[in-house]
Amino acid sequence: MTGAAELRVERHCRPDGRATSLCDDGRVVSHEDVRSIALALPGAYERPSHGGRPAWRTKPRMFTWIRDDPEALVAWVESVEEKAALIESEPAKFFTTPHYQGHPIVLVRLEAVDIQEAAELITESWRLRAPKSLVGKWDATHG
């Protein structure tokens, strides 16, 4: 990729705008990739979720984590309707469990998503859960 497309990929792969090679190697998204993306977002920090699984938060709320059984990235989406549309359009990538029914939270198979899409999902989840002051600052610089 070159030109604008390359800049777009870098921006989505590293929310802080720093260049990275994460987007270019075509490998499966790892826990370290999720960690790098999440911690690059303003106000983000890591604290294990219930059961000790990796999770990322801003004060006062969690915005993404990696669950087990089955292993998946957990992300908030705008609405339960958006969640349903994602699951219907790509059921090999997006799914849910009874625990998440009725909530705007989608489960994402790490092996089915590339780094750019993972970054977009994590960033959007952060935008929905982070304090509005942080989101406003982010939007002003990343428009």
Q: What's the rounded Cα separation, in Å, for the pair 113 and 26?
A: 10
Residues 3-142, CATH architecture? Alpha-Beta Complex (3.90)
Segments of the chain scoring below 70 in pLDDT: 1-26
Q: Which helix (H) or strand (E) holds 119?
A: helix 115-129
Q: What's the rounded Cα separation, in Å, for the pair 106 and 75?
A: 6
Q: What is the pLDDT of residues 87-105, one digit of tens each?
A: 999 999 999 999 999 999 9
The pLDDT of residue 51: 84
The pLDDT of residue 26: 61
Report the length, in residues, of the chain.
Answer: 143
Q: What's the rounded Cα separation, in Å, for the pair 16 and 42?
A: 8
Tell me, yes or no, if the pTM score tops 0.75: yes
The pLDDT of residue 131: 95
- 3-state SS, residue 66: strand
Q: What's the rounded Cα separation, in Å, for the pair 7 and 1?
A: 9
